[in-house]
Structure 1
Amino acid sequence: MATDETLIAGYDGVVCDLDGVVYRGADAVPEAADALQAVVARGVGVVYATNNASRVPAEVAEQVAALGAPATAGDVVSSAQAGAARLAAELQPGSAVLALGGDGVVEALEAVGLQPVVPDADQRELDRVAAVLQGYGKQLRVRDFETAARLLSTGLPWVASNDDATLPLPWGQSPGNGAYIDLLAGALRRRPDVVGKPHPPLYRLALDRLGTKSARTLAVGDRLSTDIDGAAAAGIDSAWVLTGVDRPSDLVAGEASPTYVLGSLADLLLPYAAPTRDADAWRCGSARVVMDGDDLHLEPGDAAAVEVVRAGLAALLARRDGGGARDRLRDGAEELDRLLEADTPRDPG
């Protein structure tokens, strides 16, 4: 049922993903910057949570601000920062930590009073290393991983910023930090503690930065397996925006359960029309969707595309949870995928 209040009125803080939500590569997502400006103008705090440990917060904030969204370095919470915070809680101040990654890892360690040591440091510095923080870095070489493996084979604490298997690039998918974790784990027969999405530590750091309670904080993201699953693991509500890579068919095929489904960030500033059951149908706005076995029948009326998608997903997920065949249900969800593509053509990556 639609409410008389905007969706964002129920929250004091927003943990916002970046790629696929605020921007796609170098391009702004339509309406995102204006929506974030309006959210902040209402007194709601916004932090940007990113699994990208290679970039420093100031660089990320500069990109976001250039698109017209409100952002300073202090508004960016990275998985490198979450990893550094984890190690700072375990080590003595000033402890040496192998910084296996880019500038973001080095800066994060320095900010919490730990001493970053790069893999090609001299042996005296390496002998002082008390832990390893691993994040993505384009400059990493085979010898850097050999150094890390040698240190980690002694049982040192090992924290990884994130375990994303792939990294989206304009031409497709490149190996991400998770692939390099696997490289070391295969040799060491152990795995690191991971702090980035979908694991809770990054969200907890974001809550600390916002100063908000979990019940009054909303996580916004486009990727189900990181943003939405991570919000659930941290115990906060989630809004899945359809401006990124994941589609309705991905939701039906998986286990994620977003609290809200949004067409874009602009929907934060509107009353939220939730899908409701009506006998054998699901309704959202003027949209009506009926399940005939595992087949989906759409009656859009004059509803917005996102309202049709909400009703369709409610019907499909109810059928899924009742034992429906996922392959058949995914076929039905692909009709919702096509509806979205026709409504808002987007970059695939």
Structure 2
Amino acid sequence: MPPGTPPQPPIAGYDGVVCDLDGVVYRGDEAVPGAPRSLQQLVDGGVRLVYATNNASRVPAEVARQLAALGAPATESDVVSSAQAGAARLAADLPAGTRVLALGGPGVAEALSRAGLVPVRPADVMAEDPPAGGVAYPEVAAPGDVSAVLQGFGRNVTVADFETAARLLTRGVQWVATNDDATLPLPWGQSPGNGAYVDLLAAATGRRPDVVGKPHPPLYRLALDRLGTAAVRTIAVGDRLATDIAGARAAGLDSAWVLTGVDGPSDLLDTDATPTFVVASLSELQRPYAVPQREALGWRCGVATVSYSDEQLVIGHEGGDRMEVVRAGLAALVEARERGTATDQLRHAARVLDRIIEDGRDDSGRTPAADVPDEEPASNR
């Protein structure tokens, strides 16, 4: 940005948004403060919006109802799921009407049906192929009649279901997994996610599936098709660096990393993720955005100045908007990493940025300059 150029809102450069859900729009059953209103303002301003989720267990209509109840603009067609991406992948390879094992929740079976394939429940697969001339029951599928497995998360999947899937996979049928998230966040902590169950079948069969959900590109490509926007005019928004931000990069999209969810500033140092924008909340997509600039003694973002010295961040006397401090601090830390500084040292220094976010979380995304420490190194907080 040339000197003296007024900062523009991030959304100014885009026609479409691919928005993550958990940690961005809601946390559990509650809306992230201000998120539904911000999304409505985007739509009212002419921006096209879809929600992209790795959760294959729920049907899109259910997700849309939840979003609408929270006040976010959403219809069933606005929700793009990894189950839909998986079904689309199989439909591109298999004739219409092909039987596919639906391993997972209701979203998996519905996606297959809508893609023109026939979902088969694990319980409806025969133990063995029927003998020649044997009685065929229309509600039961012989193993040889099932041509693929679509695996997504489901809370009611049983050991017997996995055994059926393993038997089919051993026969060599096509295998697509909706996503490979190893864990699923729940109020009490981390539960095994679909990736853990994919690993279970991989260990049993010696195979790996094609994966279509984040951070892999197919889900984003399906979202682009739904939006009808060009990739260069579409931005992906998410809170997880390893899935949302890495997935956007893999699909050739710009990204906005929103700090209302799982990952905080220090987590960036463990990845090679390069979000296009770093924002406190969805509302900042529509506010002027100051980009960090390198100066002689460190980094400046807006009026905030931050430098990395003696294994700690030093925040300048000007203070500033808390997100300007965070962006300048991250720029300083990434620069230090590129120069070979150990990640453990950088993560320790980044804790001051984590605390700035944790102490100031609200819908406005702003903290008065007086609330930002002056010349205070991370090690002293």
1: CA distance, partners of 2:12 / 2:40? 15
Q: 319, 325, 332: which one pairs with 2:349?
A: 332
Q: 206, 211, 216: which one pairs with 1:194?
A: 211
Q: Tell me the residue number matched to 1:120.
A: 123
Distance 1:118 1:336, change over 3 A: same
Query: C-alpha deviations, 1:172-199, integer Å up to 9, x for none?
Result: 1100000000110001011100000000
SS of corresponding position for 1:89: helix
- Across the two proteins, how many residue pairs are aligned to each other? 346
Q: Tell me the residue number matched to 1:176.
A: 193
Amino acid paired to 2:230 = K
Q: 18, 23, 27: which one pairs with 1:20?
A: 23
Amino acid paired to 2:80 = V
Query: C-alpha deviations, 1:131-188, integer Å up to 9, x for none?
Result: 0000000010000000000000011100000000000111111000000001100010
Q: Tell me the residue number matched to 1:61.
A: 64
1: CA distance, partners of 2:6 / 2:142? 59
Query: C-alpha deviations, 1:289-332, integer Å up to 9, x for none?
Result: 01114321112635221111000000000111111111111111
Amino acid paired to 2:149 = V
Give TM-score, length-normalised by structure 2.
0.89
Max radius of gyration: which structure?
A: 2
2: CA distance, partners of 1:103 / 1:264? 31
SS of corresponding position for 1:5: coil
Amino acid paired to 1:238 = S
SS of corresponding position for 2:176: strand
Q: Tell me the residue number matched to 2:366.
A: none
Equivalences for residues 1-349 of structure 1 within 5 A: 3-123=6-126, 124-127=140-143, 128-299=145-316, 301-344=318-361
SS of corresponding position for 2:122: coil
Q: Tell me the residue number matched to 2:369.
A: none
| Cα root mean square deviation, aligned | 1.3
Higher relative contact order (CA 8 A, sep 6+): 1
Distance 1:139 1:250, change over 3 A: same
Query: C-alpha deviations, 1:92-127, integer Å up to 9, x for none?
Result: 011000000010000000011000000000425143
Amino acid paired to 1:105 = V
Distance 1:270 1:126, change over 3 A: farther
Query: C-alpha deviations, 1:233-286, integer Å up to 9, x for none?
Result: 001000000000101110012211111000100001112111111112101111
Structure 2 unaligned spans of 5+: 127-139, 364-381
Kept after mapping to 2: 8 A contact 1:238/1:260: yes
Give TM-score, length-normalised by structure 1.
0.97
2: CA distance, partners of 1:57 / 1:238? 23
Structure 1 unaligned spans of 5+: none
SS of corresponding position for 1:198: coil
Kept after mapping to 1: 8 A contact 2:10/2:277: no
SS of corresponding position for 2:352: helix
2: CA distance, partners of 1:300 / 1:6? 26
Amino acid paired to 2:141 = E
Distance 1:316 1:147, change over 3 A: same
Kept after mapping to 2: 8 A contact 1:136/1:176: yes
Q: Give aligned-pair identity as a percent.
A: 65
SS of corresponding position for 2:307: strand
Kept after mapping to 2: 8 A contact 1:117/1:126: no
Shift of 1:345: 7.4
SS of corresponding position for 1:261: strand
SS of corresponding position for 1:158: strand
Kept after mapping to 2: 8 A contact 1:34/1:69: yes
2: CA distance, partners of 1:322 / 1:204? 35
2: CA distance, partners of 1:326 / 1:298? 20
Shift of 1:343: 0.8
1: CA distance, partners of 2:290 / 2:101? 49
Structure 1, 177-186 or 250-259: larger mean CA deviation: 250-259
SS of corresponding position for 1:61: helix
Kept after mapping to 2: 8 A contact 1:80/1:108: yes
